[in-house]
Chains A and B, each alone.
Chain A
Amino acid sequence: MKKSLTGLVMGLLLSATAFCKAAADPVSDKVKQSFQKEFEKATNITWMYQKDKNVYHARFQYNGEMVEAFYDEEGSLLSTARFITENQLPILVMKQMATEYPGYTVRQVVEFTNESQTTYIVSSYNNKETLVVKFYPDGDSQRIKKIKNKF
């Protein structure tokens, strides 16, 4: 499940429209109640459903930021994803990025949190390519995608 949700976050980074294509299914009361308990002050909520993964997800504003929350059909919160700025990355991640990927400009950062771990998926580019790299809070990283720029 964790792997497939990382795929959804990748969709967030690489194509903002990927989520909108999901068919909107009725969301059960169980899932909605669980959501309201966790994110009491959420606004502009849009619900979507990934039928193939059987995952409900809500996109909404929370503390002035866009957040995605993923639920299973029982209403358990599986994970959250939120767009953050480069400055919100842990210092060890900033430090590692500067060492490992000097000269790249950060385009987008998604903080991905599940029950046990927070990871950061960073999309950055230089004049040759765009990289999508997953960082752990200790600065360890794993390259997920490299896309050559089309000029």
Chain B
Amino acid sequence: MKTRYLRYGLQTIILMLVLYAAFGLGSRSFEAYCPFGGMESLWGLFTTGQFTCALGPLNLSMLVGILILALIAKKAFCGWACPIGFFGDILNKISMKIFPKRPVIGGKLKGWLKLTRYLVFFISLYFTYKLGELILRGYDPFYAIFTGFKGHATLGWITITVTILIGIGSLFIPMFFCRYLCPLGATFDPFSRLGLIKITRNEETCTKCFACADICPHAIAPHNFEKVRHRDCTNCLECIDACPEEDTLELKLTI
């Protein structure tokens, strides 16, 4: 069985649980489970000993759990659990069918654009810490969607425009939100590089057919690495499934 189906199965279950909470059927708001909320709560906890705005202990404990996971299995949370990543992945697969020849962002531009997620990370934390409000909510398409555009902090046409732009961006650039805008991804980056479980490549059997590079949703080129330490790797294992050579790309515990 392709690993993708196992991954989609787990992501579907998690998405259903998020929707269950978003429809108000759980004891908490779906926001209470967001690990980035843990980052947003840190300053308030440090300075006043209290959680900021609507944040609570679950945000922080989820962040801790997932950072430990990142130290073990890199960004496996992004590839195997995050409903936002799931949406991005599905949109990417649809887009591949509609636009088989999408523009490829390469070179220095690719590197510079990736810095935008750090910008989102710092701006959101700075203003959340300064104002005591979750300022990202008004621009967060997923908050907008899960609250039916009726959430407390929704900014009307601004939120709708941002949601549409991210949708369009996702059709042309694979994992657009994850690559360029996700502040949680920026939080994981330093931990992800240290992750113990990673994909490795056997140079002797690799034919450099680029099948792994073509399928990678994050445009990592596994054929260039002996061990894929890349900060964007979510251990989604698409490359292992795509590799035509036996025992060439493997999942390994490495130090």
Partners in one complex: no
B residues touching A (Cβ–Cβ < 8 Å)?
none
A residues touching B (Cβ–Cβ < 8 Å)?
none
